[in-house]
Amino acid sequence: MIQPSRRARTREHKGAASLDERYLERSGSQDDTEEAPSDERQSFGQGPATWMTVRVSERGTSATLTQLAPGGDTDLTPSDIAQALTEHYNIEHGIDEEAIVAVLGRALTKPHSVMKCNQVIARATNAIPGDDGRIEWEKGLSEERLTEAYRVHAAIRQQPLEAVMKSDARGIIVAPDQVLARIHPPTPGKPGRNIHGEELNVSGRQAPIEAGAHVRIEEDAVISEAYGYVGLKDDELSIAPALWLSADAMRAVYIHLELLAKPPLPTPEMVHAMIAQAGVTQGTDDRAVEKLCSKRLSPKRKRYLTLARGSKAMNGEDTRIEYTFDPEKRAGTILPDGSIDFRERNLVIGVAEDQQLATVHPATEGLKGYTIFGEELPATDGTEYVYKAGENVRAEGDPPTAFYATVEGNAHVAGDTLHVKPLYVISGDVDYETGNIDTPIDVQIAGTVRSGFTVESGGTITIGGSIEPGATVVAQGDVIVAQGIVGEHTNVVARGLISMGTVQCKFIQNAAVLAKEGIEIGSYIFNAQVRCGGQIAVHTGGGKRGGSIVGGEVFAAQSIQATQIGSSTTAGTIIGLNADPVSAIKLAKLRKQLRELDVSIDRQLHSLGVDSIDVERLKNLIRQAPNARKAMISEAVDKLYEMAELREKVNTDMEPLIEKNAEVAEGATIEIAGTVHSGVEIDIGDAIFMVSKEIKRSAFYLEEEHVAHRSI
């Protein structure tokens, strides 16, 4: 075998080491310079004492002679060692004969000894790696630009649309079937061979690219499959269709953000394909598609265009009544002095006989909708209602479709029923000249209801003046008083049977007022008994008393709003919330009756000389009484029993009312914009809170069966 020169061999070894490192790197294996030790002796040659040990690297890139024992055989030759390497270690390639000659020469200088060494005696011929594959991007595209453009993919998914259009991301739009890049494959390189004669190959790396959404790779071409924004992330090239979809699936919008390059002009086929790829099957606007395809958009300006819309479900309309007049009763305007201006209240709605009052439009069926994905949106049909003809009203149709007045009068709407009531007009006061008034129709009084007189109406009562002490005013509808309601024995009731049942006046002083719904006061409430089933609002008109509730008892079901409660000079102010004003009044009367009975029973017991109702003791008292007093004492005992029986009945009647009075509407509050003075009692349901020191700007409410308050 021809041996190379030592210089050439050294150069070859250096090159081989470098190539071996490249081979290990490409193959992904661990460093092959670590040798697998093999201390097992292998005999060879002619003598029994001739042996050697060789370490072979795990991947067969080298073999190292570590020990050589000639065994006294001075005729040992390099060929013997080479043959042993083949037979015992399967080394067929890259044997360094010169190295073997040198090491054998040293060993034979002491043929009976064991020579230890670390001599490489065989090396692999390493492969020459091939070139890596590479990507050749088409004009206008580069890895850097595509990585930047990928930001658009996240921007276009934002909600709402305004957030998308605020994005500063810049993209690149491509068309379907557009070639985006060419892939140049790696080359195989020049093969090598390890010491066992096995071939070694180190090909170049594949080009770092993967096909993502709407991208395909055909042979050496990377091709777009959609009209949209192209972007590169983690070696994956993908396309996001230039379409924003609303979260409620009711709108598909073409998005044109700022671009890094001029976009291709889409064709209708491209746009329809993009819409279909997004799963949109309903509501495409062909005119919008044509508009998008008619002109290339500027890369520097943002635009959007709705390409598809869903159809909202249209619920059917409920039965609807259309009046020929304005049916709304409005609160009278409160003037600066707290008085009520009737001009805007719409109290009198005059209609003529046979005048049409209303037309009824029947309920309609609902119309189903759909999302842009073809998902059906259900719709409900309108609810059928039947409107009714009340007093002096004629209905036509079954169910009624039109209503007409049968008399001239004042039109009213009470829930689902129309009434026409003649109007009773009094141009002055209610006094001895008019007498008491009791009429089923609306009453309009220009002046004042004088002391001791009564006005009762089956409709609404409007009073241009005031209600004096001892007067009684009862309406089935509303009571509106321009001035005040005054007097300890004055009673005003708005039952709300044909309307909301409200009371509106300038002030209430020392009087009792009950309303089914709300009570609105222009100035103040003083030492009065006031209850309603809605809310009480006390405005700040009429001077320094404005907005105040001082003395008396004021209760509402929903809320009380005022500026000041109580005063530093007046005691006994109680305000509160309970569910039912009528029940509260009954309960208050029963509690008063109970207190009076307790006092009367205590007096009767004291007069009889006993401290409790003891039946046996009372019988003995009658038996032991002198004949002249026996009848009187017997009568007093009977009276005591009657009062005790009545007291038990009052307690029984109070039980359901106490339970009802404890109920409070959810969210019911008392809101005081100014001061709640010390000594005021606040009752909410069964809970009682005594104000021990002034509280400013607070709202009171029920919390876990206690009265709580917070700042407002």
Q: Please report, rounded to a whole number, the percentage of residues in the chain having pLDDT higher than 90.
A: 66
Average of per-residue pLDDT across 331-343: 71
Residue 551 CB partners (closer than 8 Å, separation 6+): 526, 527, 528, 566, 570, 571, 572, 573
How many Å apart are CA 91 and CA 100, to the nearest integer?
Answer: 14
How many Å apart are CA 62 and CA 41, to the nearest integer?
Answer: 18
pTM over 0.75: no
Tokens coding 351: 């209609």
Average of per-residue pLDDT across 458-473: 93
How many Å apart are CA 151 and CA 676, to the nearest integer?
Answer: 61
Of 11-20, 187-196, 280-289, 412-421, least confident by mean pLDDT is 11-20
E strand or H helix at 223, and its extent? strand 221-224
Is it the case that residue 606 has pLDDT exceeding 90? no
**Which amino acid, one-letter code, is at 420?**
V
> Is the separation of the CB atoms in 271 and 287 below 8 Å?
no
Tens digit of each residue's pLDDT (9 = 90 or more) over 147-189: 999 999 999 999 999 999 999 999 999 999 999 999 999 998 8
**Chain center to CA of 481:** 46
**Which amino acid, one-letter code, is at 63?**
A
Q: Could you tell me the CA-to-CA distances from 419 to 356, 397, 439, 458, 473 in Å, in that order?
A: 12, 18, 15, 11, 22
- For helices 581-608 and 627-661, angle between their N-to-C axes, nearest 10 degrees: 160
Of 340-354, 393-407, 468-482, 494-508, least confident by mean pLDDT is 340-354
DSSP 494-546: E--SSS---EEEEEEES-EEEESS-EEEEEEEEEEEEEESSEEEE---SSTTT
Q: Please report, rounded to a whole number, the percentage of residues in the chain having pLDDT higher than 70.
A: 92
How many Å apart are CA 600 and CA 322, to the nearest integer?
Answer: 61
Is it the case that residue 629 has pLDDT exceeding 60? yes
Tens digit of each residue's pLDDT (9 = 90 or more) over 675-699: 999 999 999 988 899 999 999 999 9
How many Å apart are CA 280 and CA 272, to the nearest integer?
Answer: 9
| Better pLDDT: 190 or 410 | 190
DSSP state of 252: E
Q: Which pLDDT band holds residue 500 (cuts at 50, 70, 90)? A: low
Is it the case that residue 333 has pLDDT exceeding 80? no
188 half-sphere exposure, CB direction, 13 A CA radius: 5
What is the 3-state secondary structure of 422-458? CEEEECCCECCCCCCEEECCEEEECCCECCCCEEEEC
Is it the case that residue 347 has pLDDT exceeding 80? no
Of 176-185, 237-246, 331-340, least confident by mean pLDDT is 331-340
Is it the case that residue 605 has pLDDT exceeding 70? yes
Residue where the block lists tokens 């409410």: 701
48 half-sphere exposure, CB direction, 13 A CA radius: 0
Is it the case that residue 33 has pLDDT exceeding 50? no
Tokens coding 534: 């809605």
Beta strands at 236-241 and 333-334: parallel, antiparallel or unpaired: unpaired
E strand or H helix at 589, and its extent? helix 581-608
Residue 699 CB partners (closer than 8 Å, separation 6+): 669, 670, 671, 672, 709, 710, 711, 712
Of 42-46, 109-113, 343-347, 445-449, least confident by mean pLDDT is 343-347
Average of per-residue pLDDT across 508-514: 95
CA nearest neighbour of 323 among 246, 393, 370, 230: 393
* pLDDT computed for residue 655 by the predictor: 85
Tokens coding 225: 């499959």
| Better pLDDT: 56 or 584 | 56
What phi and psi values does residue 619 have, to the nearest 5 degrees?
Answer: -65, -45
How many Å apart are CA 218 and CA 74, to the nearest integer?
Answer: 69
Average of per-residue pLDDT across 236-246: 96
Q: Which pLDDT band holds residue 12 (cuts at 50, 70, 90)? A: very low
* pLDDT computed for residue 14 by the predictor: 34
Is it the case that residue 343 has pLDDT exceeding 80? no
* pLDDT computed for residue 256 by the predictor: 96
Q: What are the contacts of 426-431 at 24+ separation with CB within 8 A?
A: 429/465, 430/455, 430/471
Is it the case that residue 4 has pLDDT exceeding 50? no
Of 91-105, 348-362, 386-400, least confident by mean pLDDT is 348-362
* pLDDT computed for residue 348 by the predictor: 63
Report the phi/psi class of residue 105: left, alpha or beta, with left for phi > 0 and alpha for psi in -120 to 50. alpha
Of 482-496, 571-585, 665-679, least confident by mean pLDDT is 571-585
Is it the case that residue 326 has pLDDT exceeding 90? no
* pLDDT computed for residue 332 by the predictor: 60
Of 341-345, 434-438, 547-551, least confident by mean pLDDT is 341-345
